[in-house]
Every structure is written in C-alpha cells, then in structure tokens.
Amino acid sequence: MPQPVSRALVVFAAGLCASAALARPTSFLGVAAGDADATSVVVWTRAVDSAAPTTPLSLTLQLSPDASFSSIAASVAATTDPAARDSVAKTLVTGLTPGTAYYYRFVAPDQTVSPVGRLKTAPASSARVAVRFGFSGDCDGQWRPYSSTINFASLNLDAFIFIGDTIYETTTSISPAAFVPSATNNTLPAADIASIVNDYRRKYREQFAPTPSGTFPGLTGMFAAQSNYTLLDNHELGNRQYINGGAPANAVNGDLDTAKDANTTGTFMNRNGGFAAFVQAYKDYQPIREDAVSAPSDPRTDGTLSQYRAVRWGKNVAYIQLDDRSYRDIRLKKSPGNADDAGPRADNPNRTMLGATQRAWLQQTLLDAKANGVTWKIISISSPIDQLGQIGSGLDGGKSWMGGYRAERNTLMRFLKDNGIKNVVFLSTDDHQARVNELGYFDDITQQSTYHRLDRVYSIVAGPIGAGGPDAVTNHTFSNIQALANAAVTAQGASVEPLGIDPASPYLFNVRREGDPSANTARGPVDFYSPDTFNYAVLGISADGGTLDVSVQGINSYAANTFPEPSAANPVREIFGFSLVARGACDADVSGNGVVDMADLNAVLSAFGSVGSGIPGDVDGDGAVTFLDLNLVLTNFGRSC
C-alpha cells in the first residue's frame, strides 16, 4: 500500500513556500535527482536571480537523512550557468552510503531555499532488500498538468524510470510548437541550432509549471519524489529523421533508398548538428550523467552520450537501461508519408537498434547477472519489444522492435534462450496504453509458425502519463474495455502470443483488475490491458527476490487542451495488477527426470553449503545451496514438470 507522506515534510515544505514568497530575487523551477548508483547521484535544479538573470548563482546543495534537515550529511557547491545551460545547475554527488534515502535542497546566496527532493542510492550488490521501481513516459503538453502524478510523494519509490517522450515538440492551445529544421545535414545554420535549443528548453521548463489557469505544478512533484532514470525517445529528437541516430547523416524523413536500410555509409545522424542541439536541451533538463562512450572501433557509437548503463539494486535486481534511439538504423517507409514498411525489409539481419557496441555490452551484462545469481533483470527500452500481430501485418509499427528491427530482436531473444537467462522483464512506453505480454523467439523470422515462448521473459508497456490515444476511449466501463481487449486478441491472429500472461502459468498469481472480481480465477486479456487511462506502473520485488508484484495505477483519460487539475472525481487508483514468482516447481526438478522427487532432494542435500555458479542443487540460482533451495524442493515435492 502507498505510504502517507511525512507530516514533517509537509510542514517543512509549507515553510519553504512561505519563505520563497518573501521579497527575495531568486526563484527555483524545481529539483530532481537521477542516475543513482550505490554511492553517487546527479542532482539538478534551475535557479534565476531576477535582479541579475544573466549572472551565475553560487548555490549550496544540502543532503540530509531527515526532511527537517536537522543534520546535514553532505554540503556541496553548485553553480548555475545562464549562458550555456539556461540557468541550470547539475552536480554529481559522490561518497554517499549505499541503500540510503536522503532529502536534498539548494540554498541561494540570498537564502532562498528550493523545494525539497528525496533520493535513494542503490543498495550494495550483496544486500538482500526489497526494491520498488515505478515507470512510465509520454508527456504531451496538451494534457498538462499531468494529474496522474498527484500521488508520487506517497508511492515511496526507490527510483522512477522516465521512459522517453518527456516533452513533445507540438503546439498546444497555451504553447507554440518548438522549432524543428527540415534539413538533416551537418551544416545547419547557427540560427537553426539556437532555435532548437531555446525552443526545446522552453518545452522542458513548461513541464515543471502550472497551466495559466491552474495551480498544480506539472511534473515537479514527480521528479522530486525519488531518484530517477531517464531515456531518450522520438519527441525529444524532433520526431523527424533525427529520431534514428544511426541513420546516414543526410537521410530524410521517409527516405526510400533501400541501400540505407542498414547504414554502411560511415556517416551518422547522431553526428548531425541538429541531433546535438536536441540532445543538449535534453541534457540540460534531465538529471542524468553526461559521460561519453569510448568505442574507437565503432564510429556509430564512439563519443556519443552514454545513455546505456547497468546498476545493481541489491542482491536480486539488476537495472539495465538501453538507448534504442541514438544508434538505430533508419525507420522503414512505404512512401514519403507516414506508412511504415514492416515487410521483408525488416528481416534484414544487418539492421540494428542498439549498434554493435551496445548489443555486445547488453549480452555481457546479462551473462554477468546470471553468473552473479541476480534473480530479476529489469531492462528499460523506449520502444516496445512485444509482438502485436502477424509478421508483416502492419500491427507492429515501424519504430517498434518487431515491426522494423525484428532480426536484431530475434537475436536477443535467442540469446536469452541459448544462455538460460530467465526472469527478464522489459519495460517500455511509447504506445500510449498499458499492456503485458510474454516474449518469444522464432526459428525463422519470416515464418510466424516457428514461434516459441521463452521461459519467464516478459514485456510490460505502461503510460502515457498524459498524451493522445487514451482520450479516444471515453467509455471507461469494464465491459467496454473487455470488448476492446478481446478485439485486440482477435486481430493478433493465430500463433501470436495473445495479450496478457498465460492463465495457466505456474509463475502467475494474485491477478487483479478494476471491475473484474474474478480476475485471478478466470484470467483473461482484459486483466492485463488498459487503453483508456493515463497511468504508470509500480514494480515491487521482495527482499528474497522470490516475487515481483506489478501494479498499474492511473486516472481516466481526458480531452486535449482541457488542462484539468487533480480531482477527487477522477482519482488515481489501481487499474490492474498481478504477481510473478521467480521460481516454480520445475526449477526444483534438479535431476531433470520430469518430477520433483527423492533424486532432487538428495541432489540438494549432497550439495548443501556449496557456493558457485551453476551448481546442481542451487534451485533458486543465487550461487549457493542453502535452506531456500531445500525448501523449494520440499514445497514442490511430487509435482510433475
């Protein structure tokens, strides 16, 4: 259950608001912390001195174990940069304690104090602790002020994963569109570069502000409530050809030259002046590290912003973040318009989303996680990786893994199969609906009938926080959503993994769905689907790593450019949820004879106390044969596999 926000924090924050109302010239836009590991984190703010707006401000960043700041754990200097960073200050704080929650604030020279934020460092890799992540994406200004985020302060998240489309470049009734150049070459005029950076910074600033007619401050509370991780997606990059960082530098939107399908030109969109301008605004307004990738032998990747990373969150969780925008090949089109080509061109084995360097890194990271006994591998990607329809049907859009990059997708799925990597959960957004599915691979990516389901590999798509699509569904009754879910499954066709998780899965329990009291006993597609809400997902992993609980929470969608404030008439609530176990009966069949019996019990007893990778008897895969393994055999004794 969500935890109530601390009364001390409320009182303290109220005092800060009163202080900020005094006649002091400094104003803060908001605060955020991100890219946390066990001992360090990036902390962000934007502050302006109205009396001298072009002069840098020397701020003091304070971290404390309590919301009242009665003691200061760290005090760090931070300086705004009005000229180059739009008055943003970003500071990497090091030397922190693993697995620790801190409150933080900035203090200006005139003693104006920023809003208070809360962050948490990742637990040590040996710590057996519960982990609680949230994720969503897609924030179009037409749906400000994002009422679905009203309760973030009470979620008690360790981290929130903001999976792209953190702003939109499009026009709203209260904000003009941002500038996007039509040219995609490396010689954009300086005026165009400046227009991109300035307009996109404006769009990022708007996300922290109330609408002109309201008071709810947009995403301010969401960013301040916990540590954050952020990914690029198409709208941060102008939603034209810049969205394909690995495409040739001179490619245009809708380019039909098939020689560019897998880029061998030696030039790349991610070296383009326009691409760099979009990324600059993104770096200015996201609490992210700004390291560069070193890959001298890979010109597609070398020197680019390092957005892919892996962080251990204790013994049982590896968080793995991918960048599937900066290196991807061109999006395939049937015409210069918006019609995707998801036909045979998408089977090209040389097409990539990740690039060779990142893909090799991902595979090694997964192998390392398995070798170290990490139970759950949580992978965030900005483009969905599940399959919606028959190969080439067009149901899988050209920007998705299955629609336009399915050869590389299949390579990754086969890698999981061949290396016995289980309990993998891919998180993504972008499709403006919430849905869950199991994943699989193909023996032949041109033949749907050669599909095989993977063992304990899942996809969860969530969102949007506020964007178009869900607003088209105005009938929010359970019966209507059930009809839409069933229609989606029918459209998928034969041999496609149907929407949801197999009702007979031995790893699935505690299924719940708003409006469906029989969700756990009569599980169906509707219990894993929400096309009509603005939402986010919360993932809770138990301290022993044995269970993962997923809760999709949100509000009913509303019309564009209506800008409703949060309201009790449209409350945030759980829409659907379910739990998964990491280990089932068949894991206890150590001998592999198809039944959990005395042979398995003897195998565990014989290896009891052993430590190492791949030991027969290590049922739970944590690298040691312990009472947990013995208990799994005894619990499942007599079961067939």
The confidence band for 252, taking pLDDT boundaries of 50, 70 and 90, is confident
In-domain check, residue 2: no
In-domain check, residue 93: yes
pTM for the model stands at 0.92
Q: What is the reported pLDDT for 638? A: 87
Of 9-18, 283-292, 505-514, where does mean pLDDT reach its minimum? 9-18
Which of 51, 85, 120 is where one domain is finished?
A: 120
Residues 182 and 102 in one domain: no
CA gap 606, 447 in Å, rounded? 46
Nearest Cα residue to 330 out of 263, 266, 264, 382: 263
pLDDT(553) > 50: yes
CB neighbour class for 568 (10 Å; exposed up to 12, middle 13-18, buried from 19): exposed
The confidence band for 23, taking pLDDT boundaries of 50, 70 and 90, is low
Of 60-69, 268-277, 282-291, 588-597, where does mean pLDDT reach its minimum? 588-597
CATH number of the domain at 618, please.
Answer: 1.10.1330
In-domain check, residue 574: yes
Nearest Cα residue to 618 out of 416, 418, 420: 420
Residues 456 and 481 in one domain: yes
State the total domains in the chain: 3
Residues 94 and 74 in one domain: yes
In-domain check, residue 126: no
Average pLDDT over residues 435-445: 98
The answer to whether the beta carbons of residues 575 and 555 sit under 8 Å apart is no
Q: What is the reported pLDDT for 185? A: 65
Q: What is the reported pLDDT for 186? A: 66
Residues 110 and 135 in one domain: no
The average confidence (pLDDT) of the chain is 93
CA gap 309, 315 in Å, rounded? 18
CA gap 498, 476 in Å, rounded? 22
The answer to whether the beta carbons of residues 546 and 581 sit under 8 Å apart is yes
CATH number of the domain at 207, please.
Answer: 3.60.21.70
List all residues 6 or more positions away from 560 whose beta carbon is below 8 Å from its beta carbon.
Answer: 140, 142, 143, 172, 468, 471
CATH number of the domain at 20, please.
Answer: 2.60.40.380
Residues 410 and 368 in one domain: yes
Structural tokens at position 211: 């609408």
pLDDT(20) > 80: no
Higher pLDDT, 1 or 53: 53
Helix (H, G, I), strand (E, B) or coil at 67: coil
Structural tokens at position 286: 């996201």
CA gap 241, 254 in Å, rounded? 8
Nearest Cα residue to 397 out of 463, 331, 491: 331
Q: What is the reported pLDDT for 301? A: 98
The answer to whether the beta carbons of residues 25 and 49 sit under 8 Å apart is yes
Q: What is the reported pLDDT for 636? A: 84
Question: Which domain does 233 fall in, by range?
Answer: 131-582
Residues 429 and 451 in one domain: yes
Q: What is the reported pLDDT for 473? A: 98
Of 97-106, 257-266, 332-341, where does mean pLDDT reach its minimum? 332-341
Average pLDDT over residues 475-489: 98
Which of 82, 101, 120 is where one domain is finished?
A: 120
Structural tokens at position 148: 């679905």
Helix (H), strand (E) at residue 310: strand 309-312
Residues 570 and 596 in one domain: no
Q: What is the pLDDT of residues 572-586, one digit of tens each?
A: 999 999 999 998 777
β-pairing, 227-231 with 26-34?
A: parallel
In-domain check, residue 314: yes
**Count of C-beta atoms within a 10 Å radius of residue 639:** 15
Q: What is the reported pLDDT for 3? A: 38
**Share in percent of the chain as helix, strand, coil (round to 5):** 25, 25, 50
Helix (H), strand (E) at residue 404: helix 401-404
Residues 273 and 364 in one domain: yes
In-domain check, residue 265: yes
- Matching residue, tokens 């499009």: 170
The confidence band for 612, taking pLDDT boundaries of 50, 70 and 90, is confident
Residues 107 and 164 in one domain: no
Of 187-191, 203-207, 289-293, 564-568, where does mean pLDDT reach its minimum? 187-191
Structural tokens at position 593: 């004879």
Which of 544, 561, 582 is where one domain is finished?
A: 582
In-domain check, residue 624: yes
